Each structure stands twice: as structure tokens, then as C-alpha cells.
Structure 1
Amino acid sequence: MSTLRTLAAATSLLALAACATVGPDYKRPDVAKINEPAAQAPFMGSASVAVSQDPVPDGWWKLYDDETLNGLVQEALAANTDLRVAAASLARARAVAGEADDAGGFSVGASAAAMHARESGEQYLMSEPLPVENLADAGVKVSYQVDLVGRLKRAAEAAHADADASQAALDLARVSVAADVARAYVEACSAGHEIHVAEHSLDLQQKSLDVTNRLIAAGRGTSLDATRARAQVDLQRAAIPSFEAHRKAALYKLAVLTGKPPAQFPKVVEACATPPKLSQPLPVGDGAALLKRRPDVRQAERTLAGATARIGVARGALYPNISFGLGGGSTGLLADIGQPAANRWSLSGLISWTLPGEGERARIRGAEAGADGALARFDGVVLNALRETETSLTAYAHELDRNAALRAARDEAVKAERQAATLYKAGRAPYLQGLDAQRTLAGAEAALAASDAAVAADQVNLFLALGGGWETAPPVKTVQAQR
């Protein structure tokens, strides 16, 4: 009868465990900044003709129609070392979540042992020694830990939220790697373009020096004209090494981003002299789509969910731990194992409870403060995502305006240089006037080339702020350490 009462009590406790879970259930807080209408609205900078409110495509780098860039990004997304670190962290977080899922509930154990030994006679209150015997013990035990108030459930929720946050961290790393590859590719091609512009200006200056030397030989110039022309040639030549260094640095960065040593940089990019350009307005979507897409926003929210679940874990410490066990086996002489005289069984229950003190209540307050901090961080990530996007949109639009003005100035400088050269050759203008026109043209060409590079870099920065590129990324290649 007592056994039936025990089972009835166990059933009642299991029913209680099924409907009682301490701590708050997570839902996105109504006061979170992500819920504000201004955060969901179109971007202020989306009115520019250079952008559209079309959705951001998964592989935004494909908008450049550059097969070399596409291949480099795909290679980096599969082999980048930072992504390998993030993928390993995700695998670990998922393993921890699996361990949390398995906590509590049923567990089964088995044991078996045999020995040739002599037991102590005195432990049985006998004065004579016992004979040497073959002894054995075998048994099976089944236990069940009752999650009385859902503490283990909350711990599993927190572990799964951490795993979700690790997944978001991997996606965030993918966004960064794709943007870093595109930026390095832009830098390499822009440096090649600036080298081409500098070499072209140097060629023009060298031709001007040759013309000056011929005019001096014909008695129509002075040695001062030649000195000035040589100085201009040297100035143009001095600009080239820095562009070469920038290109090499970008090439080395591309190699490392794709998981290779610097010496194995992509040789095809070394000859690139034209920065990639978009043939259509840059798609940016709106605030609502941005906040759904950005992995750091998702990471911050899952961190908040985990912090909320840990409040329940802390509150669960206020309640007792309950477990039940059922065991059976056989212990005795080896020859009698399995016989009724050696068989045994047991049905047990255990309640353990540490009376709550200030320490337990302090842990609850700490968990609640942790959730408040996670909400503040979530709000900060949302606001920062919107700020980065608006800032990038503004920078892109203003650089395009600057680029258009520089292009017009370059075109005028070309006309002025040609007119000055014609007048100088005809003896109708001093050499200094032609030299000033050449300097103006060289400066305009260099400024336009730098602006072209800035436009391409601003496009990549804007795509980075928009947070796309992780949705269809290939699996990361894992490399196992020596086991």
C-alpha cells in the first residue's frame, strides 16, 4: 500500500512539473527600440537617385557582374580562418545545448563486478576467518529527476538561445568577410587605376619636358623652363611607389582572407586597373528589412532571450530537487548470482533542498540585472545599425556629388592644358602658364581617381551596413586538430 502511495505522490509531482515553470517566458519587450515606427520606416538617405528601396539581394557582390570578385568571395566564405573560429564556437554552443536538453529526466545505469576474495569475519561479528570465495555483483538502476519548477527547462532555453546567438555571430562574420574581400578587391583595383593615372600624367610631363628641351635647343626657351619641367616629372614619378604599396597590401589581404599565405595572392587581381562599378541604383530596402536581416541584431535579441531564461534558472534554486530511483540486481557468491537468495531490488525517492538565503536571492537579482543589460545592449545594436546605414547612405550620396564635380573639373583641365600647350608652342604664352595647366590637370586626374576609389569603397561600406551576404553562404570548411 505504501508503494502505491509513493507512486501516487510521484505522479502528482510529475503533473505539477508539467504545469509549473519559474521565471518569465521570453517575448520581445514592447519597449524595445526595434518596435518603434521610426526604426521600421524607409531610410532618410534613400531619396537619392543612386539608391533604390528594392530588397538587398543575398549575394550583393554579384551586382558588380565581376566573376573574379564572385570567386574570391565564395572562396573566402568557405575557407576564411575567422569563419572557422566562429563555426567551431557554434558547434560548441550546440553541443552545450544538447547537453542541457539531456539534463534531468530518466537515466539508466548498469554495473557488474566479480572478485576472488576473503571477507573480514569481524565485520560480521565472527572471531574465525571466513573462507576465500568467488563473489559477484550485478545490477541495473533507473532514475528520474523531476524538473519540479522548470529550472532545467529554463537552463535548456538559455543554452539554445546561446546557440542561436552563436549562429548569428557566424552569420555576422560572414557579412564582414564578404565586405572585407570586396573592399580589398576595390583597393587593389583602385590602386591599379591610380597607378595608371599617375603613369599617364608622368608620360605627359615627360613629353612636355622633351618639347621644352627642343624649344630650348631652338632658342625659344630657357634653362629655368627645363628645370621646372624636370621637377614636375620627378613629382609625378614620386607618387607611383605609394600606389604600388597600397596595391600589394590589398593583394596580401585578399590572400589571407581566402585562407592562404600572402605569397599566394590572386595573380589575376594584380593586373586589375578598373574599380568595380554598379550598373544600377544600389538596393537598400527599408529599416524593417534591415533589422530583420542584420545578424548582430538577431544575436543581441537571442542574448536577451538567454538572459531572460537565466532568471528562471536562478529562481529555480529556491525550490527542492526531487528524484526517484528503481534498482535491481544480484549480489553474493558467484555461483548463486541470479538465484532468489542473492537477488535484490529497491524503489527510492530523494528530496534535497537547501533553505534559500541571501545568496540565492542575490543571484536572482543578478540575473534580472543581466536581462536589463541585455535589453539595453539590444537597443544599442538596433540604433547603431540604423546609424551606420544612414551614415553610409549620406557618405555615398555626397561622394557621388563630389565625383561628378571632380569629373567636370578634370574635363575642363584637359581643355586648359591643351590650349596652354598650343599657345606655348606657338610662342604666344610663357612656359609657366603651360606648366600651371599641366599641374592642374595632373591634380584633377589624381583627385578623380581617388574619388572613384572612394565611391567604390562607400558602396562596399553601405552593403556592409545593410548586413546582407550570409543567407546563401557555403558551409565553412572545417579542419580538425590532431586528436
Structure 2
Amino acid sequence: MRNLYQTVVLPLGALALLAGCAAGPDYAAPTLPASRLPASFGQPVAGLGVGTVEAGWWRTFDDAALSTLVGRALAANHDIGIAAARLDESRAMLRESGQGFLPRGGAALGVEQRRRSDAEMPSGQPRRTDSYRGAVDASWEIDLFGRVRRSVEAAEAQAGSREALLRGVQASVAAAVAASWFELRGIEAELAVVADLRLSQRDSLALVERQVGAGSASEVDRLRAVALLRQVEMEAPALERRRAAAINALAILLGETPQMFSLPAAAPAAATLAVRPLAVGDPAALLARRSDIAAAERGLAAATARIGVETAGLYPEVQVQGSIGLVAGSLDAMDGAGALSGFLSPVLRWSFLDTGRVRARIAASEARAREALLAYDQVILRALQETDDAFQAYAAAGDTLGLRLQESVAQREAARLARLRFAQGAGVYLDVLDAERADFASRRALAVARTGQRLAIVGIFKALGGGWEVCASAASDCGGAAAMP
């Protein structure tokens, strides 16, 4: 046994210690050249400035109901729960990959009853033999060429990618909740406009009916007033349907059954939104924050490590196998000193005849790594595009809202004056009808513009990739699907 230890174990252990390199390329995170990374986000946009992006950006709206909804969604959303489960899966696979550095094996117990033929039976030996074996078998792969190391690197990078994807889902869910909430509030604002105009049109109809009775208006004027009132009233069912759909969308985001979901108490929506300056950082901070970029980078790292896994197939695989236990012809003899049995054996496996197949797999893994690199670069470009689009949409939404405010004030005053002139007998009802239609359209358009402004702000923070940072707090419940067992 001592000679075996000296001739097998010590040399193999020395090889294991000396094997400091691994097959395949060593990974280095790519860096974007300064010529391709802008120093700023282009032309300045009013209301946007350089600074640290607020993690819980939805709190900037000072809407307690919105903050409540986002918190509930982060805790119970099913997409977040699915992403968290996938992360747990990848972490478990990483732990499994790490076991490749350790010996594998276990206990083995066996009984063999054998009957020999005449040709197999030595002279003077019994035809029937029994043997009992209890042993511990083990094998250990000496990772000389880094197959196990590269496998662990790939699994670790894959787990990092899944973690980044989870952060991305958390950020997307927060943005989706905010967008759905503001769409709902916008629909409710349109419903309020319809209700207000319904009352106004009823007053107008009553005015026309009085004028018809006095002989200063015709039946045609009365019918036109009735038609406009019905036109206003017809808008309510479609808005109610959209409102129900928006509530159902919120229910799904919060992981709740639509039929059992109820909205939190909310204060009446403000007519105007006081928007304080938004800190949006710079492109370098954007690349560090966006979870899809982090996921793509980790995917590139995993693809690079898999090149080493396949390259290791060109070299021999060295293992040490061993066993120690008891072997005897009967159970009574198992406790005797002569029953002790064992072996320690180095094993060298080299599939040199499969070199062509291995090189084909290496070429395929290299192609996948090039694909991952291009995908990483594409994600960066899209992130910069989405950010610029969001900034331009925010600027356009602000300009549109300002113009809509001026238009609505003018149209409302025009409708008031037209009704006043008609009541005084100085105008025709057709002028009133046109003015009230224009007033109705402008007030609804103003409500839509206000919603657009809020959605544009949500779009900015979604493009910036923020929101998931709040989940780093120990007090935050962001695991998703909290209602599931």
C-alpha cells in the first residue's frame, strides 16, 4: 500500500497542484470604446438633469395609492416569482457544478451467489460460491485541463444572468403598475369630463326647449341638442369598459384574481402634476444600472467559459478510483482480518479518435460566444435608443400638455359665450352646437394629455432601468407570488 501511495497518489497530487491553467480563453468583461459611449444624453431636455437616479422613482409622484400598489406587485407578481424560481434553479445548478471538484461515490453492499459451469470450474473447487461485499467506492477527477473549472465558471455566469433578469422583471413590473395606474386615473378623468358635460348638455337642451317654446328656436335645434347629449352619453360605456380592463390588468400585475381585486383608497387626481426636476444620470451610469445589459454580459461570460469546457475534451481525463471494504464468502467471515479488501487505481481516458467531433463542438461554442458578444453590444445600443426616445417623448408630452391647456381654456370660453349669445337671442344654435362639440373634444384631449405626461415620466424611469434597487433592502419583499404556497 505504501508503494502504491508513493507511485500513484503523490504524482497525481503534484499534477493537480501544478495545473494552474484551464483550457479555453480567459474571460474579460468587454468595455465600450470612448468613441461609442456618449458623455451625455444628447440635447438637454427641460426638467431633466444629471444626478443619481432615485431608486423608488414612483414615490416622486406623491401618490400613496401608487406606492402601495407597487409594493404589493413586487411581493406577489407571478412573473417576478417565476424569475426568482429560475434564479434558485441556476444557483442550485451552480452548487452541483462545484461538486465536480470533490470525489464522488458511496457505500455499496452486495451478495453474489454464483454457479459455475464445468468449463469455468477449476479442479477441486466447488461449483457454487457465495460472496458478500460491503465497501466504500470513490472516484475523483483531477481537473488538470480545467473542464470542471470552466463548467463552474459557466454555471456562475448563468446564475448571474438569471439574477440580472430577475432585477429586470422587478423594474418592469414597477413600471407596468405605474403605467396601468395612470391609465386608469386618466380614464377616470375622462369619465369625469363626460359626466360634467352631460350635465352641461342637459342644461343646454333645457335652454333650447325654452327657446322653442318661446318661438326663437326651431325643432331642428332641439333635435340637434338631443343628439349632442346622446353623443356625450355614448362615450361613458366605452370608458367604463376601458376602466374595467385597466383594473383587471392591475389585478394580474398584483397576482390577484380580477373578480376579487379591489383598488386602494386614492385621493382625487390633481388637475395638474407638479413635476420637479428629474435626475437621469449619464450614459455610463445607465449601462451600469440596466439589468438587461448585466444579463447580456453574464451570458457572454457563460458562453466564453463553455468554450473551455469543450476545449478540455481535446486532452486526457485523469481520474483516481478506489475502494475499501470487506469481501468474504459468508456473513460470519466478514469480521475477520482476511476480509479486508481495497484498491487504488489511476485511470487515464483520452478520446483521441473523437478529436473531429470535439473541434466541431469548440467551433460551435466559439460561434455562440461571438453571438453573445454581438447581443451584448446590441442591448447597449437599444438601451441608449430607448433612453433618448423616452426623453423626446417626455419633452413632446410637456409641450402637448401646455398647448392643450391653452386650447381647452379657449374652447370652454367660446362655448360659454356661444350659449350666452344664444340665450340672449343674438346667435344661432348651430354656433352653440359647434362650440360645445369643440369644448367636449378639447376637454377630453386635455385629460389624455395629462395622462400622457405621467406615462412619459414612467417611460423615462423604465428606460433608465431603475426601481429594482429598492429590492436590495432587507425590509423589502420583492420575491413575487407571495400569495402562492
Q: Give TM-score scaled by structure 2 length.
A: 0.92
Kept in 2, the 8 Å contact 1:190–1:274? The answer is no
The yes-or-no answer on 1:469 pairing with 2:463 is no
Gap change, CA 1:2 and 1:255, over 3 Å in 2: closer
Task: Give the fraction of aligned pairs with identical amino acids, expressed as a percent.
Answer: 33
Classify the secondary structure of the residue corresponding to 1:141.
strand
CA–CA distance in 1 between the matches of 2:42 and 2:260?
43
Gap change, CA 1:43 and 1:118, over 3 Å in 2: closer
Residue by residue over 1:88-116, the C-alpha shift from the partner in whole angstroms, topping out at 9 and shown as x without a partner, is: 1111111111111111432352223457x
Kept in 2, the 8 Å contact 1:168–1:299? The answer is yes
Partner of 1:99: 96
Partner of 1:24: 25
Match of 2:226 among 226, 230, 253: 230
Partner of 1:88: 85
The yes-or-no answer on 1:190 pairing with 2:217 is no
Paired letter, 2:21:
A
Gaps spanning 5+ residues in structure 2: where? 472-476
Per mean C-alpha deviation after superposition, the further-off stretch among 235-244 and 333-342 is 333-342
Partner of 1:447: 445
Question: How far is 1:136 from its partner?
Answer: 2.7
Kept in 2, the 8 Å contact 1:403–1:451? The answer is yes
Question: How far is 1:39 from its partner?
Answer: 2.8
Partner of 1:178: 174
Residue by residue over 1:61-83, the C-alpha shift from the partner in whole angstroms, topping out at 9 and shown as x without a partner, is: 11111111111111111111111
Per mean C-alpha deviation after superposition, the further-off stretch among 440-449 and 307-316 is 440-449
Question: How far is 1:278 from its partner?
Answer: 5.1
The yes-or-no answer on 1:436 pairing with 2:434 is yes
Partner of 1:68: 65
Paired letter, 2:459:
N
Gap change, CA 1:276 and 1:81, over 3 Å in 2: farther
Classify the secondary structure of the residue corresponding to 1:324.
strand
Residue by residue over 1:146-197, the C-alpha shift from the partner in whole angstroms, topping out at 9 and shown as x without a partner, is: 0011111001100111111111111111111111111111111110000001
Kept in 2, the 8 Å contact 1:196–1:273? The answer is no
Per mean C-alpha deviation after superposition, the further-off stretch among 165-174 and 299-308 is 165-174
CA–CA distance in 1 between the matches of 2:272 and 2:249?
18
Match of 2:373 among 361, 372, 375: 375
Classify the secondary structure of the residue corresponding to 1:44.
coil
Classify the secondary structure of the residue corresponding to 2:37.
helix
Gap change, CA 1:284 and 1:266, over 3 Å in 2: farther
Gap change, CA 1:118 and 1:429, over 3 Å in 2: closer
CA–CA distance in 1 between the matches of 2:350 and 2:273?
68
Q: CA RMSD in A?
A: 2.4
Question: How far is 1:436 from its partner?
Answer: 2.0
Residue by residue over 1:116-169, the C-alpha shift from the partner in whole angstroms, topping out at 9 and shown as x without a partner, is: x57648544246756887x53222234321001111100110011111111111
Gaps spanning 5+ residues in structure 1: where? none
The yes-or-no answer on 1:334 pairing with 2:335 is no
Partner of 2:9: 7
Kept in 2, the 8 Å contact 1:188–1:272? The answer is no
CA–CA distance in 2 between the matches of 1:478 and 1:39?
38
CA–CA distance in 2 between the matches of 1:287 and 1:113?
66
The yes-or-no answer on 1:306 pairing with 2:308 is no
Runs of 4+ in 1 over 4 A off after TM superposition: 117-124, 126-133, 269-276, 477-482
Question: How far is 1:5 from its partner?
Answer: 3.0
Paired letter, 1:125:
P
Match of 2:350 among 331, 349, 353: 353
Paired letter, 2:406:
A
Question: How far is 1:319 from its partner?
Answer: 0.3
Instruction: Map 1:274-293 onto structure 2 (within 5 A).
Output: 277=273, 279-293=275-289
How many pairs align?
A: 475
CA–CA distance in 1 between the matches of 2:4 and 2:135?
24
Question: How far is 1:467 from its partner?
Answer: 0.8
Partner of 1:343: 340
Residue by residue over 1:210-232, the C-alpha shift from the partner in whole angstroms, topping out at 9 and shown as x without a partner, is: 11111121222111211221121
Question: How far is 1:52 from its partner?
Answer: 2.5
Instruction: Map 1:383-422 onto structure 2 (within 5 A).
Output: 383-422=381-420
Partner of 2:474: none
Paired letter, 2:56:
G
Gap change, CA 1:75 and 1:271, over 3 Å in 2: same
Kept in 2, the 8 Å contact 1:276–1:456? The answer is no
CA–CA distance in 2 between the matches of 1:398 and 1:434?
32
Paired letter, 1:27:
A
Question: How far is 1:477 from its partner?
Answer: 4.8
Q: Give TM-score scaled by structure 1 length.
A: 0.92
Paired letter, 1:416:
A
Partner of 2:143: 147
Gap change, CA 1:308 and 1:118, over 3 Å in 2: closer
Question: How far is 1:283 from its partner?
Answer: 2.5
